Amino acid sequence: MKTLNRRALLEAGLCLGVATLAPRIGIGADADSTAAPAAGAGSANQPAASVDPLAAVAPELRPPLQEMLKRPIPTDINAGNLAARRALKFLPPQKPAETPGFERRLIPGGKSAPEVPVYIINAQPRGSKKPALLHIHGGGFILGDAESQIPRLQIVARDQDCVVVTVDYRLSPEVAFPGALEDNYAALRWLHGAAQELGVDPDRIAVMGESAGGGHAAMLAIAARDRGELPLVAQVLIYPMLDDRTGSSRAVPAQIGQFIWTRGSNRFGWSSLLGTPAGSLRVPAGSVPARTASLAGLPPTFIGVGSIDLFVEEDMQYAQRLVAAGVPTELLVIPGGYHGFDLIVPDAPQSRFFLEAWSGALRRAFAPRPPILG
């Protein structure tokens, strides 16, 4: 396993758009939070003080957290420190590889919306029929960018022999729902329309995202189903952010959500997107995947998450609902895995297994379908 340090953890956290950690063992992250709790949240925001969060972490995934606990950083993201979090930069940044190539384009946005920046990776000769992945970056709806994802997505494009388009959607709280959804939908619409130019098979387009990007991917899949215009062959949701009620109006076990993305950050991220406090009785239609009345008709789904990730319960419940709705669904829960563990400790056996699982699911989704005989 590679040597891990504070810088490595922060850099990996920035891949998700976050860089947070519980400030001390034995005290829940929300003890020091300055984010205002949602009305009616009650004990949902107060994990037990006697729990040692590290005890639940898989041994192979502990070293970076132990290093971070020696030099703690502020825990929750809120309005007071959001600008500073966005300004975090680390040099030298990871540079994209020479191949596969990539380019930035501005594509038409939704109605009355600005143009949307996208990065196209591994475009193919006109008329080719390669599968394509629409990628949506993470960052709690409030952080992150598409450009920083290019080096990692180049690996995905090469491994899957596919075209990748990653979207620089507008962030909250500056733009509330449905701004980002419409940006992502515009990118999906453009990808379908530009399929021949990019060498893409329009019948083999999948959507994928991590963390908040997974939440956006789920929102996009629901919108694509409801609007009936743009088919998707699969959705790959990596520890997706699906339910605004987690840590606000719904309690979370004390050992869950202690590292990287906390209850307080979750409340702030969702409240920023929704324009109303997380956990409110009513939210804008289509904004919270977990509140969608029916999941029937969604594309085949892969969901992967760690067992102590803040999102583990909502992700498992979402997978259960997909199964009940007749959607082919694969769920993987990594014991002792925290949010972003695969990026933070990429050489751990759990991370390698996790990578192969979602990569395999995507590869199967992209496989050409044999003709139906009848």
Contact 19, 13 (CB under 8 A): yes
DSSP-assigned letter for residue 175: S
CA dist., res. 31 & res. 49, Å (int): 9
Beta-carbon count within 10 A of 174 CB? 9
Q: Looking at this protein, which amino acid is placed at residue 113?
A: A
CA dist., res. 88 & res. 180, Å (int): 22
Maximum C-alpha span of the chain: 65
Domains and CATH numbers, the chain: 102-366 (3.40.50.1820)
- Catalogue the active-site residues: 211, 309, 339
The reply to whether the predicted model has a pTM over 0.85 is yes
CA dist., res. 249 & res. 280, Å (int): 8
Beta bridge partners of 306: 334
pLDDT tens track, the chain, 374 positions: 343 344 444 444 545 655 444 433 333 334 333 333 333 344 454 444 566 879 999 999 999 888 877 776 667 999 999 999 998 864 457 899 999 999 999 999 998 999 999 999 999 999 899 999 999 999 999 999 999 999 999 999 999 999 999 999 999 999 999 999 999 999 999 999 999 999 999 999 999 999 999 999 999 999 999 999 999 999 999 999 999 999 999 999 999 999 999 999 999 999 999 999 999 999 999 999 999 999 999 999 999 999 999 999 999 999 999 999 999 999 999 999 999 999 999 999 999 999 999 999 999 999 987 776 66
| 290-317 core/surface letters (b: 16 or more CB in 10 A; e: else) | bebeebeebbbbbbbbbbbbbbbbbbee
DSSP-assigned letter for residue 103: E
Taking each continuous run of H as one helix and of E as one strand, the counts in the chain are 11, 8
